[in-house]
């Protein structure tokens, strides 16, 4: 009897707790606890264009014959592009980021990735993976650029871009196609735009703050409305572009200049006529505020307002106002110039 009771007690000690038997359905994967990698305290790293940013990846122990692989997940094609691989002693860089990345390596457990001269295309999700045979594990981090989203359409009207043309148009204006996260954040900060536009992952959206008839009707709630994924070759929309801090300065030259004279006026000062993204960046990060319409590189005329007032368009919110694309022969406006640091 005593022997039977002893065996029963030993079985209970060896068996898993009853709660663990009944709380997790059969077949549900058990989350793996990180054995070698430390969970980052802050999985999002905030930075600006031109800065140096470090994505933390620290080991708590060094397994035998391990490697650490850094990669970036690209939202346009959902692929992981390898950036750097190290075994703790040697490393090898890969891809377009290669000239601007290095391992911080402040101590022997440190496999953190440092990116210098951060570019617009560097924003996104990164993965630090410990490769150690059957015990592989990884952490994900997000590099977030502080910036501004702006809608963009060409001089010949709205809904003229297929996806590839929209991507190129943003790049020509010192910006890139916005991600959904960037567009959503811009909406929370007040971006209200009726025209649908491409974003980086090939989907099409438009952000609405004030519901109204021409923009889906008054009954629809405010939000980022979506058209979903569209044909990148055939379908045509506007673009939502994203830009960040400038490595330079935007300034205004007064005058009654046509477009050609505007460009020459900037060159006479050792500068270039500003691009649309550069004007938005100066408005966002340098609080550039002028009532004067000025030519920009794409042939549009715009002016930045940080303190709304009646004589500067009368609109209640800050923003970059537009006169559209007037005739390039008009001698009515000054020009906005950009000079690099």
**Annotated domain spans of the chain:** 37-145, 147-243, 246-340
HEC per residue, 75-105? CCCCEEEEEEEECCCCEEECCCCHHHEEECC
Q: How buried is 23 (Cβ within 10 angstroms: 0-12 exposed, 13-18 middle, 19+ buried)? A: exposed
Helix intervals (H) in the chain: 2-14, 18-23, 163-172, 180-188, 259-268, 276-285
Per-residue pLDDT of 300-314, as tens digits, reads 999 999 999 998 988
In this predicted model, what pLDDT tens digit does every residue of 258-298 receive, in sequence order?
999 999 999 999 999 999 999 999 999 999 999 999 999 99
Q: What is the pLDDT of residues 189-247, one digit of tens each?
A: 999 999 999 999 999 999 999 888 888 888 888 999 999 999 999 999 999 999 999 98
Question: Which CATH code of 2.40.50.140, 2.60.40.10, 1.25.40.20, 2.30.40.10 fits the domain covering 37-145?
Answer: 2.60.40.10
Q: Is 41 exposed, middle or buried (0-12, 13-18, 19+ CB in 10 A)?
A: exposed
Count other Cβ atoms within 10 Å, centred on residue 261: 14
Return the half-sphere exposure (C-beta side, CA atoms, 13 A cut-off) of residue 149: 26
Check pLDDT > 80 for residue 79.
yes
Q: Which CATH class is domain 147-243?
A: alpha beta
pLDDT of residue 147: 97
37-145 and 147-243: identical CATH topology: no
pLDDT, tens digit (0-9, with 9 covering 90-100), for 150-199: 999 999 999 999 999 999 999 999 999 999 999 999 999 999 999 999 99
Provide the pLDDT for residue 32.
Answer: 58
CA distance 281 to 294: 16
For residue range 313-337, what is the model confidence (pLDDT) as tens digits? 888 999 999 999 999 999 999 999 9
For the chain, state the CA radius of gyration.
Answer: 27
Checking if the pLDDT of 19 tops 60, the result is no
Q: What is the pLDDT of residue 16?
A: 39
User: Which CATH code, of 1.10.645.10, 1.10.1040.10, 3.10.100.10, 3.40.50.1000, is assigned to 246-340?
Assistant: 3.10.100.10
């Amino acid at each position: 009897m005593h022997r039977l009771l002893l065996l029963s007690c030993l079985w209970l000690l060896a068996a898993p707790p009853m709660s663990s038997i009944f709380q997790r359905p059969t077949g549900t994967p058990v989350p793996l606890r990180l054995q070698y990698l430390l969970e980052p305290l802050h999985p999002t790293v905030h930075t600006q264009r031109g800065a140096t940013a470090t994505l933390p990846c620290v080991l708590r122990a060094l397994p035998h014959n391990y490697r650490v692989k850094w990669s970036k997940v690209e939202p346009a094609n959902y692929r992981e592009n390898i950036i750097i691989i190290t075994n703790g002693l040697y490393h090898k860089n890969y891809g377009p980021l290669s000239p601007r990345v290095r391992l911080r390596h402040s101590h022997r457990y440190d496999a953190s990735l440092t990116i210098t001269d951060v570019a617009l295309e560097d924003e996104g999700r990164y993965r630090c993976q410990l490769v150690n045979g059957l015990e592989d594990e990884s952490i994900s981090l997000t590099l977030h650029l502080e910036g501004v989203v702006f809608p963009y359409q060409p001089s010949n009207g709205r809904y003229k871009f297929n996806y590839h043309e929209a991507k190129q148009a943003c790049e020509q204006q010192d910006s890139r196609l916005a991600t959904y996260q960037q567009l959503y954040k811009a909406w929370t900060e007040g971006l209200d735009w009726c025209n649908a536009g491409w974003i980086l992952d090939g989907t099409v959206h438009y952000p609405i703050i004030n519901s109204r008839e021409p923009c889906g009707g008054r009954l629809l709630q405010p939000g980022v409305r979506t058209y979903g994924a569209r044909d990148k070759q055939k379908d045509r929309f506007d673009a939502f572009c994203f830009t960040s801090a400038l490595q330079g300065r935007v300034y205004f030259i007064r005058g009654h200049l046509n477009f050609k004279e505007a460009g020459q006026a900037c060159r006479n000062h050792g500068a270039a006529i500003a691009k649309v993204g550069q004007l938005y960046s100066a408005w966002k990060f340098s609080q550039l505020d002028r009532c004067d319409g000025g030519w920009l590189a794409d042939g549009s005329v715009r002016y930045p307002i940080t303190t709304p007032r009646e004589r500067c368009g009368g609109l209640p919110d800050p923003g970059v106002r537009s006169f559209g694309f007037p005739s390039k022969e008009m001698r009515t406006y000054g020009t906005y110039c950009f000079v690099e640091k």
